[in-house]
Every structure is written in structure tokens, then in C-alpha cells.
Amino acid sequence: MVTHQPDGTAPRGRAVMVLGCTSGAGKSWIATALCRWAARQGLRVAPFKAQNMSNNARVVPTADGHWGEIGSAQYFQALAAGVAPAVQHNPLLLKPEADTRSQVVWMGQVDPALSALPWAQRAQPMRDLIWPQMRDTLQSLRAQHDLVVIEGAGSPAEINLMDTDFVNLRVARAAQARCILAVDIDRGGAFAHLYGTWALIPEADRALLAGFVLNRFRGDASLLHPGPEQLQQLTGVPTLAVLPMLRGHGLPEEDGAWLDAPAPVGAAGRSVPTVVVLAYPRISNLDEFTLLAQHSGCRMRWARCAADCVGADWLVLPGSKHSLADLAWMRQHGLDAAVAQHAEAGRPVLGICGGLQMLGEAIVDPDGLEGGSGDAADAPHLHDAPGLGLLMLVTRFTAPKTVRPCNGVFGAVPTGPFAGLQGVAAHGYEIHLGQTVPHADAAVADAALPVLWGQAGQPLGWCHPKGHVMGLYAHGLLEDPQLLHALWPTRAGVASAGYEQVFDRLADHLNAHFTPGSLQALCGLD
């Protein structure tokens, strides 16, 4: 529970932190599960991740009444904790635009000055300016909640980054967090990973480690003996949990971690359409396809080349952090021709945000606002490019970036695969650079028809008059069971599981496999 400080200052809640030996160790879902487990115990819980690097982002309110971005992982952790997601839950978000360049989002808003700095030159301003405010944000959350569940990033033992890393040990020290260190045992070498990470952590910080977690275990846990016992003898740190492999848990994975795994398929033994989503290099907000991948009304898979599109009933062009670069990549790999052939055959094509922009006649970027090619920091700017020409629209990149929630209702939709959307309510969010308008030379017969309206009557979606191609600026619509059913009907009585059930299932998984009493001790309930 919230405890008073020795100096008599405001009471602050306990903090528990999930660290990992590597990226992909399961930190995000374990933190989400902890948020739900603690909330079910009656605690006031908030998530926190000092810095996230992801092109999966959600729209949340800022302190000054505007709208900003945070990483999707913290958005879902807040929902699991039962609190409204806010920028304080993820103060710093890095959105990669190329291998050596990223957009810096601080307290929900793009920071142009930090974004323009090379990686090596960001360390000092972040340490001197960002860290004090980030620390204050963390302490404010602790003052308002019984428990703050903190997620680390990568590994706390990256010795080349130890002096500048304020995502792991510096946060742990500031919060005096009880830390658990997770490892993906399915990869092998788990005990070496745990011991090596412990050994590289400064000795004074090892006292913060409350326990090890062996994640994604398959088989008979008794065969691990005497590994955990020997590890505890070497480090003094107990193993608190051996978590069995939990496939298809339903929580969106961070970035592309799930692209390499087969997507869940629709209902077995039933003929359902195949939905193919193009996976270009700078894909963004791919987390919004999690429920689609689990939807029983279709089968979903990813495509990285033209051959992957063979047999597709639907093609989906998702969002992109760099629309011009991803459009060029599509042309290099023949995916532009695959999309054109698919549309010429009258089969449905859906573009979302950056995908909508690519479906138009042209993308114009006279000021180079999207930056370089997306492949190298010194690559020449891509100022404009012809689109795929499937919708008579033109996108021009202009500042500022649009970040806001959006609500509306689909109006008249031409007869065809999207006709079921007519009258369906739409609840989503916009995160995009650029404005899209009808092409000036568009003939009335070929014009894109607005079908979804946003704030102040602004169109957020257009459809081809033949009804087979649609583009939407709104993210998140494919997380709505009603909209999913409108596009890909399910059998009577079969509905997509919502995230509330996912959060409870994850919390139950922790509860069943942590040693008795260890979760209570971590969360201050002992």
C-alpha cells in the first residue's frame, strides 16, 4: 500500500519492475498481467515505462488538454490496471524511421529538436533535461497509486549504455522497485542469461532483484532441477516462477515480434476468406490486427513479396511510419503489381492511414517532412511519388502531425465487399502526417467517394465507386467486433474475445505459476 516517506513528504506507492535479459523476453505481457492481477486485489495501479521504442502507438490525452501518443504496450497496461491511459505512463516514445534515425515523442508530442539529433548527441540533453522530468512523473504516479508496475527495456546489463540508460536501473533506483528478471527459456541458455545479467549489474543494484522468472517453458518443470537452486546459491536470488508457454494469449506483441510466427487461422472446417496484410519494413500500428488474426470469420496472414499474395481474397495495406519509403519498397518487390492485379479482378483492397495514402494518385512531400529513404540516415529525401492509383486522391505532407481520437458512422457505401459497413459506428484514432484530398483532375465517375466522416465534417475514409477499394485514416477500427463481423461475418454465437478477457487470462496465468505468496510480496500485500 502507499507508504509515507522517512522525510515526511507525500506518501508514495510501492513499485515493482519487470526487467528482461533480452528484448522479447516477455516483459510487456508480464507487466500487463501484473497490472491486472494487482488491480483485482483492490490496489490502485498504474503502469510506467520511461522510454519505449516502437511504431505501435495509441492516442491519449495530455496534461494540457490536447492529444498525444504513447506506446501501445503501456496503453494496454493501463487498461489492464483499470485506469485511463495517459502520457505519464510512457513519457518518452521513440518511433524508428530508419535504422539510425527515430522520431522523438516527449510527453505525447513530437520534439523536433531531439528528433533531429543523431543518436550519440541525444544522451546529454536526455540526461540533463528529460530525466529529471521523467523522474518527477514517476514519483507523481507513485504518490497517486498504491502500486506502479514498471516495464524495463531490452536488458539492464547493456554495459555500453549503462551511463546513459534511464529506462532500467536508474528508474529502479529512483522508485526503489522490487525487480523481477525474466528470461525466454525457449531460446535456450536461460541460466547463463540470468547469471550473466546479474553479474553485469552493478553490485549495489543487485539488491533490487527480488526474483527470476523463466518464461515460455515447454515440458516437465521438474527437469529444471537443480538449475534454479544452483542459480540461487550463486546469486542469492530465488526463481519465483516457471511460466509455461502461452501461445495465442491475445495481447498484441511489441512491433514485429509476431510477424515471424504463423497467424492464428479462422474456424476450422469452414470456408472463410483469406485476408493478407502487407508487411512492409516501416509498418506501424500493426498491433491493431491482433483481433483480426483471432477472428473466426476469416484467416489472416502476412505478405512480404508478391508470391505471398497468391490466393488472397482481401488485401490490406496497413499504416506506415514512412509511406514514401514503404511505397518504394513495394515497387521493388513487385507488390504494387500484385495489389493492382488483385483490384483489377474486383477483389477488395483496404488501406489504413499510410496504406490509404499509398492507394491514391500521388504523395507529395515538398519539404521532406518524412525524412530520408528509411534505409540510411544519409539517403536522399523522397520528396514525392506516384501512388498506386486505385483511389483518386492526393496526399500532401504538411505540419503539424495529426494526433487525435476519431468517432463517426459510415455513411452510404457502394454495393460490394464493404457494403456491410453502412451505418456501423466507428471508434478509432488518427496518427498521421499529411492531408488527403480528391485529385483535382478526377472525373466525377472516377472520384473517390467519402464514406466516413470525422470532426467538423472532415472525411476520414473514401471508397472507389465500384465498391472494391477503400481507404481509411482511422486506426483501431479492426479492434471493434461489430466492424469485424460486418466485413467478415462469423457464425451465430461466435464472437471475438475482447481485451478484458485477455487481461484476466494473463493474470490467471501468473497467479497459477508464481510461487505461493510471491506476487503478494512483490505488490506489498504480504
Q: What is the pLDDT of residues 253-311, one digit of tens each?
A: 765 544 544 444 444 445 899 999 999 999 999 889 988 988 889 999 999 999 999 99
CA 224 – CA 231 distance, rounded (Å) = 11
Q: What is the DSSP string of 229-297?
A: HHHHHHHS--EEEEEEP-TT-SSPPSTTTTTTSPPP-S-TTS---EEEEE--TTEE-GGGGHHHHH-TT
Question: Are 14-249+504-512 and 274-496 in the same CATH fold?
Answer: yes
pLDDT in the model for residue 2: 46
Q: What is the pLDDT of residues 417-432, one digit of tens each?
A: 999 999 999 999 999 9
Q: What is the DSSP string of 189-219?
A: -HHHHHHHHHHHS-HHHHTTEEEEEEEEE-S
Give the chain's count of helices (H) and strands (E): 16, 27
Which of the following CATH numbers is that of domain 274-496: 3.40.50.880, 3.40.1710.10, 3.40.50.300, 3.30.420.40?
Answer: 3.40.50.880
Mean pLDDT for the chain overall: 88
C-alpha neighbours within 13 Å on the C-beta side of residue 98: 20
pLDDT in the model for residue 376: 38
How sure is the predictor about 369, in pLDDT bands with cuts at 50, 70 and 90? Answer: confident
How sure is the predictor about 103, in pLDDT bands with cuts at 50, 70 and 90? Answer: confident
Average pLDDT over residues 231-248: 94
Residue of 21, 353, 406, 523 marked active site: 353
Q: Is 28 a residue whose pLDDT tops 50?
A: yes
Residue of 475, 485, 509, 513 marked active site: 475
User: For the chain, what are the domain ranges?
Assistant: 14-249+504-512, 274-496
CB-based contact 250:497 (threshold 8 Å): yes
Domain 14-249+504-512 sits in CATH at 3.40.50.300
pLDDT in the model for residue 371: 62
**Closest to 286 in 3D by CA, of 247, 331, 316:** 316
Q: Is 185 a residue whose pLDDT tops 80?
A: yes
How sure is the predictor about 456, in pLDDT bands with cuts at 50, 70 and 90? Answer: confident
Phi and psi torsions of 407, nearest 5°: -135, 150
CA 444 – CA 507 distance, rounded (Å) = 55
Active-site annotation holds for 21: no
CA 17 – CA 319 distance, rounded (Å) = 32
Q: What is the pLDDT of residues 507-526, one digit of tens each?
A: 999 999 999 999 999 999 98
CA 393 – CA 437 distance, rounded (Å) = 6
CA 182 – CA 253 distance, rounded (Å) = 16
Please tell me the pTM assigned to this model. 0.84
Q: Is 33 a residue whose pLDDT tops 90?
A: yes
Percent of the chain, pLDDT > 90? Answer: 65
Within 8 A by CB and 6+ apart from 401, the residues are 110, 431, 432, 433
Q: What is the pLDDT of residues 194-228, one digit of tens each?
A: 999 999 999 999 999 999 999 999 989 889 999 99
Q: What is the pLDDT of residues 115-133, one digit of tens each?
A: 877 766 777 777 778 899 9
Active-site annotation holds for 145: no
CA distances from 431 to 87, 94, 116 (A): 15, 14, 20
Strands 314-317 and 349-352 come out as parallel
Across 307-334, b (16+ Cβ under 10 Å) vs e yields ebbeebbbbbbbbbbbbbbbbbbbeebe
Percent of the chain, pLDDT > 70? Answer: 88
Average pLDDT over residues 319-330: 93
CB-based contact 390:359 (threshold 8 Å): yes
How sure is the predictor about 380, in pLDDT bands with cuts at 50, 70 and 90? Answer: very low
Strand order, beta sheet including 101-106: 51-53, 92-98, 101-106, 109-110
- Grid coordinates representing 303 are 505478405
Within 8 A by CB and 6+ apart from 512, the residues are none
Q: Is 454 a residue whose pLDDT tops 80?
A: no
CA 323 – CA 398 distance, rounded (Å) = 14
CB-based contact 98:373 (threshold 8 Å): yes
